[in-house]
Structure 1
Amino acid sequence: MEASKELIFDKLVYSCAFEKHRGAEEFMPEHFLGFQLSGETHAFHAEGQTVISENTVVLVRKNQLVRTIKYPGKSGKYQFVSISLDQETLREYAIENKIVVNAPYRGRQQLFFEPDDFLRSYFLSLAPYINKTKNATPRLAELKIREAVELLLQCNSAIRDILFDFREPYKIDLKEFMNQNYMFNVPVASFAKLTGRSLSTFKRDFERTFGGTPNRWLLERRLEEAHYLIKQKQQKPADFYLDLGFENLSHFYFVFKKKFGLTTSEV
């Protein structure tokens, strides 16, 4: 049975699976607060791998690329619920509470919490919406987001520097970023936004930095890594082609031979 991902009400998402499931590459444009109800989520991002274990709360910062693998727990079921903390609601909250952030947060990308009574009760309060025994009005949905913000600030006051930093991503080092994130199979526009550039500026800066187009460079970079994994690490393409951003195995074999003049078995 395939994993299901359902939007319960605006900003609230419930994921369920009964067998190991590899999620799609995702660009996270908003902060989100999540709770692992059962099973585990293995999240892969630019800084490495993070395991979200059962009964763990996680706050994931906006503007990140993430790939996940979902593992059911002992009960045979995987369940994860998340609520997006959208910028409009956060801006209104900041104005009402006179919150101003002048410096960027320098801590970890992911923040984990052992759920206290308040956070646990918060996620339990979402059960009626997940089970479809209660419908949420737009006003109630907004109140649930505000409640999540209040609980996060109560849990860790430093989180205000994450939630209420409304500056656009600044222009970051393109070479360093792309070499950390080339394996994510997302549109070029997502790479542009994450590096603090418009699409046209990103393409122009990319040409200046790498001497070619983004799509061409991404293919070459992924193929070089594939060659290394096959020759030096003795890995099979079937085990890593998705991790390097290739959509299907037959296309990978085709472009690999075209570049190197050899099949993967000949390498």
Structure 2
Amino acid sequence: MEGKKETIFDRLVVSCQFKKHRGYEEFFSEHLLGFQLSGETHAVFPGGTAVIPENTIILIRKNHLIRTTKYPSSAGEYKFISINLDQEVLQQYAFENKIKIGGRYKGSQRLFFEPDEFLKSYFISLEPYINKKKEATPRLADLKIREAIELLLQANSDFKQILFDFSSPHKMDLEDFMKKNYMFNVSLEAFAQLTGRSLSVFKRDFSRIFSMSPKKWLQERRMQEAHYLIKHLAQKPTDFYLDLGFENLSHFYSSFKKKYGITTTDLRKEHDSMVENKQ
């Protein structure tokens, strides 16, 4: 049975899988509250990795990159429920409740926590909408989002600094960020936003630092890493091309030969020959 990803109402999304599935990169421009109902999610993000086990709640802060692999449970099902907490709703909530924050949140960029009784009950209350036994009107959908905000603030007061921080992202060290995150296959607009820049400023700063366009540099950097993985670690392109940000395997093969004048198979043979000579 194939997996599916379905939007139940404006901001509630249910992802179901029945076999291991490697997801693509996702750029979260808004906060996301999620509940791992069954199976587990393995996540890769700038600076590390994490495993989201069953019965865990995750709050992902806005302006973050994540690549996921979804693993079904022993019963054969993966189910993850997520709710987008967008800025418009949060700003309205902050205005109505006279919420102000003293500064930016200084803790971890991602937060995993065991659900308390109220949050767990909240996600269970969404089951009728997920199973299509009840239709969510726009007003009811809005109330459910507000309920999620209330429960998050009740679970941890620190979340106030995360949810109601409406300031623009800080301008990051572009060279350091790109060298650590070149393998994420997202748009230049996403890279710009992640580094606290407009697209035009991002392109200008990038050209000044790297002396070439972002598109060309990304292709060059990914090719260099692919060459290293094949020549020195004897890895097969089928095992890493997606992880390096390449979308199409056949296009990768042709681009690789065009750049290096040799096929990936011939390069692996060079590696094997080097190993034999050392023995």
**For 1:189 and 1:153, how far apart are their aligned partners in 2?**
31
Shift of 1:231: 2.0
What CA deviation, in whole Å up to 9, does each residue of 1:207-240 have, x standing for no partner? 0011000100000011111112112222111100
Aligned residues: 267
Partner in structure 1 of residue 96 of structure 2: 96
Partner of 1:56: 56
Q: Give distance in 1, aligned partners of 2:82 and 2:171.
A: 29
Q: What is the SS of the residue equivalent to 2:133?
A: coil
User: What SS class does the counterpart of residue 264 from structure 2 fall into?
Assistant: coil
CA contact (8 A) 1:2 1:21 kept: no
Matched to 1:244, the amino acid is L
Aligned residue for 1:24, secondary structure, equals strand
C-alpha separation between the residues in 2 aligned to 1:129 and 1:23? 25
Letter in 1 for 2:206: F
Deviation for aligned residue 1:256 = 1.3
Compute the displacement of 1:90 (Å).
0.7
Q: Which aligned segments of 4 or more residues in structure 1 are displaced greater than 6 angstroms?
A: none
Larger mean Cα displacement after TM superposition, 187-196 or 71-80: 187-196
In 1, Cα distance between the equivalents of 2:108 and 2:210?
29
Q: 1:66-96: per-residue Cα shift (whole Å, max 9, x none)? A: 1111110011011000011111111111112
Residue of structure 2 in register with 1:112 after alignment: 112
Q: Using the alignment, how far apart are the partners of 2:206 and 2:125 within structure 1?
A: 47
Q: Determine the structure 2 residue equivalent to 1:146.
A: 146
CA distance in 1: counterparts of 2:168 and 2:2, whole angstroms: 37
Q: Does 1:36 align with 2:55?
A: no
Could you tell me how far apart the structure 2 residues matched to 1:57 and 1:118 are? 12
Structure-2 separation of matches of 1:99 and 1:142: 19
Q: Deviation at 1:249?
A: 1.1
Q: How does 1:13-92 map to 2 (within 5 A)?
A: 13-92=13-92
Distance 1:28 1:174 in 2: 19
Aligned partner of residue 265 in structure 1, secondary structure: helix
> Is the contact between residue 36 and residue 79 of structure 1 (CA under 8 Å) also seen in structure 2?
yes
CA displacement at 1:251 relative to structure 2: 1.0
- 1:226 and 2:226 matched: yes
Q: Return the letter of the residue paired with 1:157.
A: S
Shift of 1:265: 2.3
- CA offsets per residue over residues 245-265 of structure 1, 9 Å max, x none? 001111111111222222222
Larger Cα-atom Rg: 2
- The alignment's TM-score, normalised by the length of structure 2, stands at 0.93
Alignment partner, residue 192 of structure 1: 192
Deviation sequence 1:157-196 (CA, Å, 0-9, x none): 1111111100111221111111122111111111111111
Aligned amino acid, residue 137 of structure 1: T
Q: How does 1:236-251 map to 2 (within 5 A)?
A: 236-251=236-251
- Unpaired runs of 5+ residues, structure 1, are none
The match for 1:159 is: 159
Equivalent position amino acid for 2:4 in 1: S
The Cα of 1:48 is off from its aligned counterpart by 1.6
- Residue 178 of structure 1 is matched in structure 2 by 178
Q: Distance in 2 between matches of 1:3 and 1:106?
A: 37
Deviation at 1:102, TM superposition (A): 3.3
- Partner letter of residue 131 of structure 1? N
CA RMSD of aligned residues (A): 1.1
Match of 2:276 in 1: none
Identity of aligned residues (%): 66
Q: Deviations over 1:118-156 (max 9, x none)?
A: 011000000000000111111111111111111111111
Whole-angstrom distance in 1 between the partners of 2:12 and 2:254: 41
